[in-house]
A and B are shown apart, each in its own frame.
Chain A
C-alpha cells in the first residue's frame, strides 16, 4: 500500500489558505461585512489543516524541507524559496494559528465599533502570514523577509489610532529599536555570504565553521532588538499604545518570539561557542531582573503584562544561554497561550470598565466578571509555574537545569529573584483588579454576554491548562534532562514562587488602608522604568541634532560663504593698510606736486 507523505502538501495548503483573504481584498471592494468572517474562517481552517502535519511529525519524527522556486543566482549564491518543516516550525505553526484564531474572534467583539475594522483584520492576517514565513524559512533571506514583515506590521498596528501622539511615538520607537537589531542581522548575513557562500541553513550547519563569534554576536543583537532585551527594551512597554488584540498577538505570543526563535534555530552553531552562550545568559538574566523590577510598581495593567512578557523573554534567553534550546522553545509555546489569555482578559476588563486601564481604579471584578477573573487567575498561576499547569512543564525544567549547570552564579541568582518577582506582580494584578471593593464609577455596565468574548478566553483557558502536558509528553527531548538533584534545588522554583506570592499578599493586605506617602527612590526608579527611556531618548538624539544644525547653518552658510573669504579679506586689508601707510590723505596736494614734477622734468629734458 502506498502511503503518500502529506506533511509538505498540507503545510503548503494551510499557508495558501491564509493568503486567500488578502487576494480577495485586491480583487473586490472590501467594504462588505463578511470579510471579517472570511478571514476568521480562513485562519480556523488553516489551523485545522496544519494540525495534521504536526500530528504526523509527532508520530513519525519525520522532518520535511520544501524547496520550491529558484529565484535567482548571484555569482555563486543561489537564492530560492524554501521551507524548513522541522520540530520547531511544525510545533509553532498550529500554536500561532490557534492563538490568532482566538484573537481574531476576540477582536470581533473588541473592535466592533471601529469603522476600519476590515483593515484591522487585514493587518492582523498580513502579520500572521509574515510571522509564518519567518518561522518556516529555510534560508536567511526568507527569514529576513519575515523579520522585516513583522516589524512593519507591528509599526502599522501599534499606530492604529494614529491621531494620538503617544501611539505614533511608540510605533516609531518600535521601528527604531528593531532597526538597530537589524544591523546585527545584516552583519550575520554578510558574514555567512563571505565565509560560507550560502544562506541556506543546511549548508551553514554542515560546514560548522570554527570562528562564529562575529555572526552570532550579530544574531544576538538582532534578537535583543526584536525580543526587547535590556538595552533595546523600551519599545515593548510603549507598544501598549496599540489596541489590546494587537498587544495580545504581537507583543506577547508571536512577534517578540521571533528573536528567540531565530536564536533557537541557530543552536548547532551556538552549542560550540561558549562566549556567545555566556553573553546570552548574562543579557537574558539582566533583562529578566530589570523588567521584573519595573513591573512591580506599574499602574497600567497592560504595561505590567508587557513587562512580564519581557521578563519571560529574558528567561528564554537564559535558557538558550545554558545550551537548552528545546526547553526555551517549549517555554515559548506555552508562554504564548497564557500570555495571550492574560491580554485578552485585560482587554475584556478595559472595555467593560469603559476604557479604564489603571489598576488603581479597578476592583471587585471577582463577582461581576467570573470568566475573565477565572482566566486571569489561571493565567497568572500558569505564568508563575504552578505545578502541573502549563507553565510548570516548561519553567520548572528550566530552573532545575539552570541550578544543576556549570553557570555564572550571579546570573542564576538574579533569575531566581526575577521568578519570585513574577509571582509578586501577578498577585498585584489579581489583588487590585479582582479583589476588594469596586473603585470605578458605578454607572458602567459590566457584562460578559457576548460569545465572541467568552469563547476565545475559554479556549485559551483549556490551552493554558493542558498544552504544557501535551507538548512535553509528545516530544522527544534533544538532551537528557536532569533526573537527580538535591531536594532544596528541586523545590527552588516552587519555593521562590511561594515566597513571592506570600510577600505580595501580605504587603497588599497590610498596606491596603494606609495613606500613600511620597514614593521612595526605589519606587520611583521602578515606576519610571529605571529612568532608561528618560535618559537615552534625550542623550542620544540631542548631539546628532545639534551637530546637524551646526553643520548646516554655522559651518556652511556662515563660515564658508561669508566669513572665510570676503570678511577675512576685508579685515586683513584694512589692518595692513592702516599699519603701513603714513600719509595724511592730502590728495590734491599730492596730485599737483606730481603734475609739477612731470612738467619740470619734461621742460628740463627738452
Chain B
C-alpha cells in the first residue's frame, strides 16, 4: 500500500498508545484522543481523494462533527473532576462517588 497511508496509520497507533498509557494527568489522554481523531480525519480525506470516489468526501466532515461533540463532553468531564479535586490527577479518582 502507498507509503502515505502507512505513515498516517503509524501516527494513529502512536496516538492510541498515548491515550492508553499516561502517567498522572487526564488531559494528556484527552490530547492524544484528539491526535487519534486528527489522523483518522487525514486518512479519510486522503483516501476519498485518491480513490476518486466523490460521494465519500462527506465522511471526514461527519467525523469532524462527532469529534467536536466528543471533545466537548471530554472537557466537561475534565472540568467536573477539576471542580472537585482542583487538579486532574488520575489517582484522585478513587472514591466511587460523584
**Chain A residues near B (Cβ < 8 Å):** 574, 577-578, 584-585, 587-588, 591-592, 594-595
Contacts and interface: CB of A to CB of B under 8 A. Distances in A.
B60 to A, nearest CB: 25
B69 interface: no
Interface string B80-94: 000000000010011
B90 to A, nearest CB: 5
A584 B93 CA distance: 9
Given A587-B90, A588-B90, A594 B20 contact: yes
A594 B22 CA distance: 13
A578 B96 CA distance: 8
B71 interface: no
Contact of B93 (A577, A585, A594): A585
B62 interface: no
B54 interface: no
A591 B19 contact: yes
24 contacts: A577-B98, A578-B98, A584-B94, A585-B93, A585-B94, A585-B95, A585-B96, A587-B26, A587-B90, A587-B93, A588-B22, A588-B90, A591-B19, A591-B20, A591-B21, A591-B22, A591-B29, A592-B20, A592-B21, A594-B20, A595-B16, A595-B17, A595-B20, A595-B21
Interface residues on B, range: 10 to 19
| Majority SS at the chain A contact face | helix
Interface string B17-48: 10111100010010000000000000000000
Contacts of A577: 98
Nearest to A593: B20
Given A585-B96, A595-B20, 4 more contacts: A577-B98, A588-B21, A592-B20, A592-B21
Nearest to B95: A585
Contacts of A594: 20
B17 to A, nearest CB: 7
Contacts of A584: 94, 96
Contacts of A591: 19-22, 29
A592 B16 CA distance: 11
A584 B96 CA distance: 6
Residue of A577, A587, A592, A594 with highest tally of chain B CB at under 10 A: A587
Nearest to A595: B20
Nearest to B98: A574
Contacts of B93: 585, 587
A577 B97 CA distance: 11
A111 to B, nearest CB: 72
B77 to A, nearest CB: 12
A-B interface, 5 closest residue pairs, ranked by CB to CB distance from nearest: A591-B20, A595-B20, A585-B93, A587-B90, A574-B98
B1 to A, nearest CB: 15
A585 B85 CA distance: 15
A270 to B, nearest CB: 76
A594 B94 CA distance: 20
Contacts of A578: 98
Contacts of B17: 595
Contacts of B26: 587
A100 B36 CA distance: 96
Contacts of A574: 98
A594 B19 CA distance: 11
Contacts of B16: 595
Contacts of B19: 591
Contacts of B22: 588, 591
A585 B77 CA distance: 14
Residue of A574, A585, A592, A594 with highest tally of chain B CB at under 10 A: A585
Contacts of A585: 93-96
A153 to B, nearest CB: 66
Contacts of B90: 587-588
A79 B11 CA distance: 89
Nearest to A578: B98
Nearest to A584: B96
A19 to B, nearest CB: 75
A228 B26 CA distance: 79
A307 to B, nearest CB: 70
A306 to B, nearest CB: 69
